[in-house]
Amino acid sequence: MFPFVAALCMSACGGGFSVGFGSGFGFDDAPPSVSVASSVSTVQAGQSLRLVAAAADENGIDNVAFYRLDNNNPVLLGSDGAEPFEWTTTVPNDGRTTLSVFARATDNAGNRADSSVLTIAVTP
């Protein structure tokens, strides 16, 4: 009954009545933004490589996972649940000449997004 009385009072004084639904109710279907970087563009096989990701979302980031692509199949390297989001991995010593990696951010609502693929040259 109270909403009806409030609407009636607002109408009487020239006001309006509006009901809206939006992000104020906690619904989040927007994916986070994420990018991945490395301080080097060439790395030697068998050496360590440090990856850093930048991730943002209006409701917070739960974690960032780092992946390597092997024959276009993602291989999980590890994940980090706190800023700065980073992971150190060992570059495979299997004869490859490039290493392709990406980051996947998951926000606090479970939405996910992948970064662009970063390709790093690998030397023997």
Q: How far apart are CA 65 and CA 87, in angstroms?
A: 9
Residue 61 lies in a domain: yes
Residue 5 lies in a domain: no
Q: What pLDDT was estimated at residue 124?
A: 93
Per-residue pLDDT tens over the stretch 50-89:
999 999 999 999 999 999 999 999 999 999 999 999 999 9
Residue 80 lies in a domain: yes
Residue 101 lies in a domain: yes
Identify whether the C-beta of residue 55 lies closer than 8 Å to the C-beta of residue 61.
Answer: yes
Per-residue pLDDT tens over the stretch 27-55:
888 999 999 999 999 999 999 999 999 99
Residue 4 lies in a domain: no
CATH, residue 108: 2.60.40.10
Which domain, by its residues, includes 67?
31-123
Residue 58 lies in a domain: yes
Select from 93, 85, 75, 25 the least CA-distant residue to 50: 85
**How many domains does the structure of the chain reveal?**
1
